[in-house]
């Protein structure tokens, strides 16, 4: 057992704020936003990635005036208040490039089809007499009511005009954003490369799921939890086996598996106990171990291991997920636009809670349809079953020591 250099692991001494640690993590990872890390991908390959550069619309949407209804394209001046009988012209299907519309005529037009030159409105088919398109040719007459210019016409550029900003740099590309790029005619897009993480769980007490469980030991849930969270966030994840509490073994493992990754994340071994393998393995590296004024997830490691950015998360699973959501996700989100930041929402507590006033407390909860938040489990960072029953993180800021049922809180949907 090593001696304890600082004596106390008290909660508040020298603790860094959540915002300060997020800034430090962002600084550590700033190199990931280099333009050299851009790549060009086909649209659907870019799902979940973020734009390197803002984009201007190369064309207008819609590209041309088109009909919002199946009906007749008309010149509104041709129809008096009492209506008018107009001669039926050849139809205008979607995709065609129609002839100009001559005075006194009406052209059957389908939804999305280009408005003929001269026409300025569309009369829906159900307001026409007869109220259906004719099969017998184009030489008949149709009676149509008076129509205000512009009726049922989607004008060119009414969604976005050519040259306008279509999307900002660092926009995260979901289905709607990719759909917009397609609508603008783009087949590929320049995005940031995915971030590759080496994920290492540590601890002599930790056993791989599927193996027998000796007395006093627990299964490794951190690895699965964080790998899944990182994959869901679009990161590439490399796993090693579980590291023992031997610092030399952990160093060897990081050197073997971590030479070409963007980031090393470890779990466990960062607090002020007697056996802290990550602290010990990082002893000769430019890395620091500190306490963030947050519960859970207070003990954190940050620095470089052989020049590779390193984050040391604590050993309990809830602390791991909270560390990921509070620091790694928002840092990447701010730098690269991907993964998308969690949307902060408001909820009303279903029950009271207490919180240490000098820490930012992160509880787990279920935001209900009616806006109330049911807390799941207590404060304990080992409560994996309660976490699995939650749909959100509940934030209790520094300075708040208790909240009553009905009080508003900020929540982040998971």
Q: Are 160 and 132 in contact (CB under 8 A)?
A: no
Residues 42-81 binding a copy of itself (CB under 8 A) are 43-44, 47-48, 57, 59, 61-64, 68, 70
CA distance 303 to 296: 21
CA distance 326 to 269: 19
Q: What is the DSSP letter of 380?
A: -
When the beta carbons of 146 and 275 are compared against a copy of itself, the nearer one is: 275
Shortest distance, CB of residue 330 to a copy of itself, whole angstroms?
Answer: 14
Tell me: does residue 30 bind a copy of itself (CB under 8 A): no
Strand partners, 365: 375, 392
When the beta carbons of 255 and 368 are compared against a copy of itself, the nearer one is: 368
Q: Are 75 and 89 in contact (CB under 8 A)?
A: no
Residues 83-122 binding a copy of itself (CB under 8 A) are 91, 93-98, 108, 110-114
Using only C-alpha atoms, the chain has a radius of gyration, in whole angstroms, of 31
Tell me if residue 242 falls in helix, strand or coil: coil
Stretch of residues binding a copy of itself (CB under 8 A), selected from 28-36, 219-227, 290-298, 394-402: 219-227
Residue identified by tokens 């995260």 is: 172
Residues 355-384 binding a copy of itself (CB under 8 A) are 367, 369-371, 377, 380, 382-384
Tell me: does residue 151 bind a copy of itself (CB under 8 A): no
Tell me: does residue 390 bind a copy of itself (CB under 8 A): yes
Shortest distance, CB of residue 217 to a copy of itself, whole angstroms?
Answer: 5
Contacts made by residues 373-382, CB under 8 angstroms, sequence distance 24+: 373/347, 373/348, 373/349, 373/409, 373/411, 374/350, 375/349, 375/350, 375/351, 379/295, 379/296, 380/296, 380/318, 381/296, 381/297, 381/314, 381/316, 381/317, 381/318, 381/319, 381/322, 382/316, 382/317, 382/318
Site residue total, a copy of itself (CB under 8 A): 120
Shortest distance, CB of residue 27 to a copy of itself, whole angstroms?
Answer: 26
* Element holding 353 (H helix, E strand): strand 353-354
- Both structure tokens of 6: 């600082």
The answer for residues whose C-beta is within 8 angstroms of residue 8's C-beta and 6 or more apart is: none
Q: Are 69 and 119 in contact (CB under 8 A)?
A: no
When the beta carbons of 154 and 170 are compared against a copy of itself, the nearer one is: 154
DSSP3 helix / strand / coil % (the chain, rounded to 5): 20, 30, 50
Fill in the per-residue mask, 275 to 304: x = in contact with a copy of itself (CB under 8 A), - = not in contact. Answer: x-----------------------------
Among residues 272, 285, 288, 374, the one that binds a copy of itself under rule CB under 8 A: 272
Fill in the per-residue mask, 308 to 337: x = in contact with a copy of itself (CB under 8 A), - = not in contact. Answer: -------xxx---x----------------
Shortest distance, CB of residue 347 to a copy of itself, whole angstroms?
Answer: 9
Among residues 281, 387, 403, 409, the one that binds a copy of itself under rule CB under 8 A: 387
Shortest distance, CB of residue 361 to a copy of itself, whole angstroms?
Answer: 16
Residues 156-215 binding a copy of itself (CB under 8 A) are 158-160, 166-167, 174-188, 203-206, 208-211, 213-215
My answer on whether omega of the bond before 149 falls inside 30° of 0, hence cis, is: no
When the beta carbons of 7 and 307 are compared against a copy of itself, the nearer one is: 7
Among residues 19, 34, 169, 228, the one that binds a copy of itself under rule CB under 8 A: 228
Among residues 227, 249, 288, 407, the one that binds a copy of itself under rule CB under 8 A: 227
- Both structure tokens of 169: 């740099």
When the beta carbons of 191 and 225 are compared against a copy of itself, the nearer one is: 225
Stretch of residues binding a copy of itself (CB under 8 A), selected from 223-231, 285-293, 303-311, 351-359: 223-231
Among residues 16, 49, 75, 154, the one that binds a copy of itself under rule CB under 8 A: 154
CA distance 267 to 300: 10
Stretch of residues binding a copy of itself (CB under 8 A), selected from 72-80, 227-235, 254-262, 399-407: 227-235
Q: What is the DSSP letter of 126?
A: G
When the beta carbons of 130 and 286 are compared against a copy of itself, the nearer one is: 130
Q: Are 308 and 258 in contact (CB under 8 A)?
A: yes
Residues 393-412 binding a copy of itself (CB under 8 A) are 410
When the beta carbons of 80 and 97 are compared against a copy of itself, the nearer one is: 97
Write out 34-84 in H/E/C secondary structure: CHHHEEEEEHHHHCCCEECCCEECCCCECCCCEECCCEEEECHHHCECCEE
When the beta carbons of 1 and 148 are compared against a copy of itself, the nearer one is: 1
């Amino acid at each position: 057992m090593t001696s304890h250099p600082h004596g106390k692991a008290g909660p508040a001494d020298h603790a860094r704020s959540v915002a300060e640690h997020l800034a430090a993590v962002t600084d550590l990872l700033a190199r990931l936003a280099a333009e050299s890390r851009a790549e060009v991908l086909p649209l659907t390959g870019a799902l979940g990635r973020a734009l390197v550069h803002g984009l201007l619309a190369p064309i207008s949407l819609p590209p041309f005036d088109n009909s919002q209804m199946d009906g007749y394209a008309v010149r509104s001046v041709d129809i008096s208040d009492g209506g008018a009988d107009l001669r039926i012209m050849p139809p205008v299907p979607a995709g065609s490039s129609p002839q100009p519309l001559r005075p006194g005529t009406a052209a059957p037009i389908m939804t999305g089809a280009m408005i003929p030159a001269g026409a300025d409105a569309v009369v829906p088919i159900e307001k026409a007499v007869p109220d259906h398109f004719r099969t017998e040719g184009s030489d008949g007459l149709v009676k149509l009511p008076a129509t205000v210019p512009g009726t049922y016409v989607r004008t060119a550029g009414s969604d976005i005009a050519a040259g306008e900003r279509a999307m900002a740099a660092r926009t995260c590309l979901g289905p709607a954003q990719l759909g917009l790029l397609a609508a603008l005619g783009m087949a590929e897009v320049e995005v940031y490369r995915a971030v590759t993480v080496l994920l290492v769980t540590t601890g002599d007490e930790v056993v791989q799921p599927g193996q027998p469980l000796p007395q006093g030991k627990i299964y490794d849930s951190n690895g699965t939890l964080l790998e899944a969270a990182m994959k869901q966030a679009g990161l590439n994840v490399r796993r090693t086996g579980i590291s023992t509490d031997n610092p030399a073994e952990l160093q060897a493992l990081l050197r073997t598996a971590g030479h070409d990754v963007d980031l090393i994340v470890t779990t466990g071994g960062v607090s002020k106990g007697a056996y802290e393998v990550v602290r010990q393995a990082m002893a000769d590296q430019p890395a620091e171990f500190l306490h963030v004024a947050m519960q859970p997830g207070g003990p954190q490691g940050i620095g470089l291991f052989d020049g590779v950015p390193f984050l040391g998360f604590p050993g309990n699973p809830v602390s791991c997920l909270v560390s990921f959501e509070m620091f790694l996700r928002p840092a990447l989100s701010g730098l690269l636009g991907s993964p998308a930041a969690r949307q902060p929402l408001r909820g009303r507590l279903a029950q009271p809670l207490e919180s240490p006033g000098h820490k930012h407390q992160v509880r787990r909860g279920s935001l209900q349809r009616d806006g109330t938040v049911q807390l799941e489990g207590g404060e304990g960072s080992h409560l994996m079953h309660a976490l699995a029953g939650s749909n959100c993180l509940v934030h209790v800021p520094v300075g708040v020591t208790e909240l009553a049922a009905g009080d508003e809180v900020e929540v982040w949907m998971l």
